[in-house]
Amino acid sequence: MVVAVDANGADLGPAEVAAGAALAAERGARVLLFGPAEQLGQLPEGVEVVDAPVSIAKSADPVRAVRASPESSIVQAAAAVAAGRADALVCAGGTGAALAAGLFEIKRARGIHRPALALPLPLPAGTVTLLDVGASVEARREHLVQFAFMGAALAQTVLGVARPRVALLSNGQERERGTPLVVEAHEDLARRAAGAAPFEFVGNVEGMELLAGAADVVVTDGFTGNVALKLIEGVAQSMMGAVRRTATASLRGKLGGALLLPSLRAFREQIDPETQGGAYLLGLRSLGVIPHGRFSREGFARAILRAGTGARERIVDRTHAALEDAGALRARPAAPAGGASEDEGGARAPERKPPSTSVQDASLPAQ
């Protein structure tokens, strides 16, 4: 498996991503690295550099930037995946650019309405995969239903959960709770889970149950998911800060803090997003992984390894098979006059309109 990596856009610069690629190569990965060659330094065997100094990671309008800059590192990296030169995509820059380039070059997987960003959260009670954490800001019922299948396939293949428990994030556990969207999606998922779905639908979860590990996969729209994710990280960080302050406010506290600190550090590391490698971009014809822009080399290395493993585990094919079995694939749209439909792909046609998915630069937390 070869992973195409866009080195532009990281907070610590392209050299830090290159260092991550080197670490990943040492651990067995093969990397095609797109970025400004002169900044990437000497790299070991297993990392091939493609000089691509143009970055659109900070563009305010990623869709337009992707169309206008075919020479940019992210578009070249995505094109390499589309052409079969690589098996998965890792983008250290903005989510928006990665999503736009992915939709434009790699294209949506057959039968998928819309991509989603899925983030496995390492919680004390176990790993909970939350999706969508920000690929788009609004969703329809059929999107949430597909997110459930996509999240379940991820939990099965990569996280090794035989029959994932899938839930909807809502403001109450009862099936009539939530926005009309959530209530509709609940009905639909309950019906499908009674059929051929490869997961158990456990209904709605609220904050406390989510944290307590009541589900392996929690489905929500990209706006709520992004807000939720950042709150989880914000509260965890502010609690750690409060504990730290408590542990320095008095002599007694200092003594206690000194004794407790090593175990608290281990706990903090456990819930640190960098130890996980980033979010999965699901719903394209190949897998994407989006690390935090603020990661260091270790985080980027893990993102690259995560992408390679995911490609090897064939998440895209498995998701598709499960959706097909459950009759949850998007109906094949009528071919528009003059060519193959956007959903069915075909030869690259740069003059064509970009895919209709609402691409916002919904960045990952703290990015």
Q: Give the nearest distance from C-beta 249 to its own copies in angstroms.
A: 6
Region from 19-27, 227-235, 314-322, 330-338 binding its own copies, contact rule CB under 8 A = 227-235
Among 28, 267, 275, 346, binds its own copies (CB under 8 A): 267
Q: Give the nearest distance from C-beta 80 to its own copies in angstroms.
A: 29
Residue (252 or 353) nearer to its own copies, CB: 252
Site residues for its own copies, 308-327, by CB under 8 A, read none
Q: Give the nearest distance from C-beta 10 to its own copies in angstroms.
A: 18
Instruction: Say whether 334 sits in a helix, a strand or coil.
Output: coil
Counting beta carbons within 10 angstroms of the beta carbon of residue 255, is it exposed (0 to 12), middle (13 to 18) or buried (19 or more)?
exposed
Region from 8-16, 101-109, 254-262, 344-352 binding its own copies, contact rule CB under 8 A = 254-262
Cα dist from 276 to 19, 70, 254, 280, 304, whole Å: 17, 31, 31, 11, 11
222 lies in the binding site for its own copies (CB under 8 A): yes
> What is the C-alpha to C-alpha distance for residues 363 and 367, in angstroms, rounded to an integer?
6
Cα dist from 357 to 69, 80, 90, 96, 209, whole Å: 19, 22, 20, 11, 31
14 lies in the binding site for its own copies (CB under 8 A): no
Look at residues 161, 134, 165 and name the one whose alpha carbon lies nearest to residue 148. Answer: 165
List the helix and strand counts (H, then E) for the chain. Answer: 12, 11
Residues 231, 236, 237, 240, Cα dihedral to 10°: 160
Among 31, 66, 90, 232, binds its own copies (CB under 8 A): 232
Alpha helices in 219-327 (DSSP H): 222-246, 251-271, 297-312, 315-325
Checking DSSP bridges between strand 88-91 and strand 116-123, what pairing results, if any? Answer: unpaired
Region from 133-141, 146-154, 307-315, 340-348 binding its own copies, contact rule CB under 8 A = 133-141
Considering CB under 8 A, how many residues would be counted as binding its own copies? 70
Q: Give the nearest distance from C-beta 265 to its own copies in angstroms.
A: 10
> What is the C-alpha to C-alpha distance for residues 91 and 102, in angstroms, rounded to an integer?
10
Residue (43 or 366) nearer to its own copies, CB: 366
Q: What is the CA radius of gyration of the chain?
A: 21
Region from 31-39, 41-49, 84-92, 257-265 binding its own copies, contact rule CB under 8 A = 257-265
Among 68, 83, 196, 258, binds its own copies (CB under 8 A): 258
Region from 84-92, 99-107, 134-142, 285-293 binding its own copies, contact rule CB under 8 A = 134-142
275 lies in the binding site for its own copies (CB under 8 A): no
Residue (50 or 236) nearer to its own copies, CB: 236
Cα dist from 82 to 6, 103, 279, 331, whole Å: 14, 10, 20, 23
Q: Give the nearest distance from C-beta 122 to its own copies in angstroms.
A: 12
247 lies in the binding site for its own copies (CB under 8 A): yes
Residue (36 or 365) nearer to its own copies, CB: 365
137 lies in the binding site for its own copies (CB under 8 A): yes
Residue (247 or 287) nearer to its own copies, CB: 247
End-to-end CA distance of the chain: 28
Residues 340, 341, 345, 351, Cα dihedral to 10°: 80
Q: For residues 316 and 308, is the Cβ–Cβ distance under 8 A?
A: no
Site residues for its own copies, 159-218, by CB under 8 A, read 169-172, 174, 176-180, 182, 206-212
Region from 9-17, 82-90, 147-155, 235-243 binding its own copies, contact rule CB under 8 A = 235-243
Look at residues 81, 95, 92 and name the one whose alpha carbon lies nearest to residue 17. Answer: 92
Query: Which stretches of the chain bind its own copies, using CB under 8 A?
Result: 60, 123-125, 134, 137-138, 169-172, 174, 176-180, 182, 206-212, 222-224, 226-243, 245-247, 249-250, 252-253, 255-264, 267, 360-363, 365-366
